[in-house]
Structure 1
Amino acid sequence: MAGPNPHLLHILLARIDTALAVHGPGLLIVGLCGAQGSGKSTLAAALVAELGANGLPAATLSLDDIYLTRAERQQLASSIHPLLATRGVPGTHDVALGLQTIAALKRGEAVALPRFDKGLDDRAPQASWPRAPAQCRVLLLEGWCVGAVPQATAALASPINALEEREDAQGIWRSYANSALAGPYRDLFCAIDLLILLAAPGWDVVAQWREEQELPLRRARAAQAMDPAALASFIQHYERLTRWILEEMPQRADVVVQLDRQRGVAAGA
């Protein structure tokens, strides 16, 4: 994937500078939401690098790095619903770990930033976690559902894809994820000072983007690589909430970047 659009980088850095001026001293938390494959991780890394070059200590915390351990998710799968063994939806993250990390950053500590090993499907050893700079000024909190809010209960009644119809016919899994957004995740997302949405043109393109991400793993015969059928099933875990984010979040995000199918900024956006 190519680096972020320089014009987009410039626009977002300007918005962050404005937010810093309004926010005053202390940690500014920038939420960066985008569907799988939208380029949010690449963009977050570029923003952190540019901020650091401008004398503003910055760090990134990804939702992908605060998943519950494999054992914890297996316990949820056993006690609540089998689909909770698969990392991804709200309810499969260690929100408390995220809040503890943010609290340490707000105290100005050079805190260790959690890391998750997707190849092992488990949290990486703490000794391998990088450290945020002391007196961090900006935290990029990025992830596919950063800033999401729960759906109305009535919206959960009918399955929206084959996975939900086949494996969550009673709606237990999707209701659990929705309740998590209304509970623990609310505290995490309420900490966001500036919310940026990278808005995909539609759900259909997300599968294409995710397939493009998977190709290098397959070519390298990486252990975590998925074949097309497995990937098609996997992304259905994310479909409901991704569709809801694209419908609901543009009305309240501080910055909305409309993407085209090549992940560029859409004409006229």
Structure 2
Amino acid sequence: MIADPDLVGTLLARIAHWRQPGLYTIGICGAQGSGKTTLVAALAEQLALRGVKVATLSLDDLYLGREERQELARTIHPLFATRGVPGTHDPGLGLATVDALKRGEAAPLPRFDKASDDPLPRIEWPPAPPGTEVLLLEGWCLGATPQNEAALATPVNAFEREEDPDGTWRRHANARLAGDYQPLFAAVNRLILLAAPSWEVVAAWREQQEADLRMRGGSAVMTPEQIVRFIQHYERLTRHVLATMPDHADLTVRLDEGRAVRAID
């Protein structure tokens, strides 16, 4: 996937207008398959070409390792063995990284290896440039707000009805989102949302990603049945983000089914 050059140009102009002295953190939220990783790479490349000291970080790089998630699965709910929802990250690590960058340090940037399902050894984390000026922080639920109790009461899909019938998993994920994720989100100076047209389109994008991997002979490709189950982990919060985040994001980029930009609000 190639980032839309017009969108990249528009965002570069906005970032230049927004920036202030010291570290400036741009948050980019987007559902699975929305192109946020590609967009961040393009923005980082162009900022660097303009002489801006830039670093990148993803919520995905803050995932807890397998053993830590297995402990959550034993003590809270089995579904926490699967990385994805709030509660399966280390937001404190992300905030500590942002704070180090604010101090001008060449801080190591956390990186997670999805192939091994564990963080890379710290020695392999790339250093941020000393005096980093822009941090591009992206994630599928970056900037999300917690849901209220009424919203949590009703399962959003068959997966929640069957595997989280009493709501323990979704309530704990929501409590974590309301807790230690919010200080990290508050460190974002400007928040950009890549808004998919609907949850159904997000699900189709995820299925397309897996089909592309299958055609390329990927080694860890899921079956269609596994994909359906996997994406239901994300459905609740993705629907919530699409419904609520346009009201508080600094910029909402509305995408069509082909990921082309329909509007920028």
Q: What range describes the TM-score normalised by the shorter chain of this pair? A: over 0.9
Q: Deviations over 1:25-65 (max 9, x none)?
A: 11001110000000000000111111111111111100011
Indicate the residue corresponding to 1:159 in structure 2. 155
Quote the offset at 1:207 in angstroms.
1.4
Q: Deviations over 1:68-105 (max 9, x none)?
A: 11100000000000000100001100111111111111
Taking only the aligned residue pairs, the percentage that are identical comes to 58
**2:6 partner SS:** helix
**5+ long unaligned stretches in structure 1:** none
TM-score of the superposed pair, with normalisation by structure 2: 0.97
1:99 corresponds to which letter in structure 2? L
**5+ long unaligned stretches in structure 2:** none
TM-score of the superposed pair, with normalisation by structure 1: 0.96
Go from structure 1 to structure 2 and tell me whether the alpha carbon gap of 1:244 and 1:268 turns closer, same or farther (over 3 Å shift): closer
Q: For this pair of structures, how many residues does the alignment match?
A: 265
In 2, are the aligned partners of 1:118 and 1:224 still within 8 Å (CA)? no
Distance, in Å, in 2 between the alignment partners of 1:33 and 1:263 is 14
Indicate the residue corresponding to 2:131 in structure 1. 135
In 1, are the aligned partners of 2:86 and 2:177 still within 8 Å (CA)? yes
Match of 2:215 among 184, 209, 219: 219
Distance, in Å, in 2 between the alignment partners of 1:217 and 1:32 is 24
Task: Tell me if 1:42 matches 2:41.
Answer: no
Distance, in Å, in 1 between the alignment partners of 2:220 and 2:91 is 24
Q: Deviations over 1:113-143 (max 9, x none)?
A: 1111111111112222212111110111101
Task: Tell me if 1:10 matches 2:9.
Answer: yes
Distance, in Å, in 1 between the alignment partners of 2:215 and 2:264 is 37
Give 1:1-269 correspondences, 5 Å limit: 1=1, 3-20=2-19, 24-266=20-262
Quote the offset at 1:268 in angstroms.
8.3
Distance, in Å, in 1 between the alignment partners of 2:179 and 2:114 is 26
**1:30 partner SS:** strand
The two structures, once aligned, show a CA RMSD in angstroms of: 1.2
Runs of 4+ in 1 over 4 A off after TM superposition: none
Q: Deviations over 1:170-189 (max 9, x none)?
A: 00000011111110001000
**1:261 partner SS:** coil
